[in-house]
Structure 1
């Protein structure tokens, strides 16, 4: 019987490859995701009696690079974060910043007056105040119990 030398790191590498294959099979991955996940700005929504307040975190961009479109029942935010070109003679550059185009469409729970939307972009936070349509504010629904 021959003795075989046990190499624990080879076992770990094999396990890692098997886990990667498992996740590749379970999750549909597009080319953009494989190359560094698409940038999707996180959002925060608050609904009051008169309006919907929407905040999106979009750091590192100028307001002129953002496109905001509002319909009566959805908000679409798109833009492009362009990479800065740097030349460096020595060393290696590693970045975790996300660059490229993005788009996020957020459906709204009630109809709004899209011609009265107020927007502010400050310190990387886009804040939209979306006033509700008049019929939505005074809408009372009678519940039939019988």
Structure 2
């Protein structure tokens, strides 16, 4: 049998990570719990020289049920997926669908011109084209590396 040196700080670090994960799950402002399950639309963001392109996966909803608000620094998406009520007297109905309200606030990497945002919702995918403000496109920052 090989002897292994016990490192108490490694175990404490592992415990710290688990507590951080637990608090992130509970206190995250972008997540809303519904019946013990988390419903957060998946997002994909791409930044180009002229715009920020944001794509969100929100299947099973109609455009009229979504509330999208855009500021120059963030995008807020909220909505509610309503459950379909069915009465089935002959057996058990099981559902893995998630219903309820959700909200997600996504901070943007650049200031955008929220007056000229383009949106498209098709096949459960919300696509937003967020043009950058003119001063952000040509912004140059000089770094002082001298002592």
TM interval, short-chain normalised: 0.7 to 0.9
Is the 1:36–1:98 Cα contact (8 Å) retained in structure 2? Answer: no
Is the 2:34–2:99 Cα contact (8 Å) retained in structure 1? Answer: no
Residue 39 (structure 2) aligns with:
39
Query: Normalising by structure 2, what TM-score?
Result: 0.77
2: distance between equivalents of 1:54 and 1:33? 23
2: distance between equivalents of 1:33 and 1:50? 36
1: distance between equivalents of 2:109 and 2:73? 7
Residue 17 (structure 1) aligns with:
none
Higher Rg of the two aligned structures: 1
Change (3 A) 1:111 1:125: same
Residue 97 (structure 1) aligns with:
97
1: distance between equivalents of 2:67 and 2:34? 26
Residue 136 (structure 1) aligns with:
136
2: distance between equivalents of 1:46 and 1:127? 11
Residue 22 (structure 2) aligns with:
27
Residue 75 (structure 1) aligns with:
75
The count of residues paired between Structure 1 and Structure 2 equals 121
Q: Which runs of 5+ in 2 are unaligned?
A: 1-17, 27-31
**1:80-126 Cα shifts (integer Å, max 9, x gaps):** 00000111121111111000000000001110000000000000000
More helix by share: 1
CA shift, 1:142, in A, is: 1.3
Q: Which runs of 5+ in 1 are unaligned?
A: 1-22
2: distance between equivalents of 1:145 and 1:34? 50
**1:17-69 Cα shifts (integer Å, max 9, x gaps):** xxxxxx9xx83676x74833131001000000000000000000000000000
CA shift, 1:127, in A, is: 0.3
1: distance between equivalents of 2:92 and 2:36? 18
Q: Which stretches of structure 1, 4 residues or longer, exceed 3 Å deviation after superposition? A: 26-30
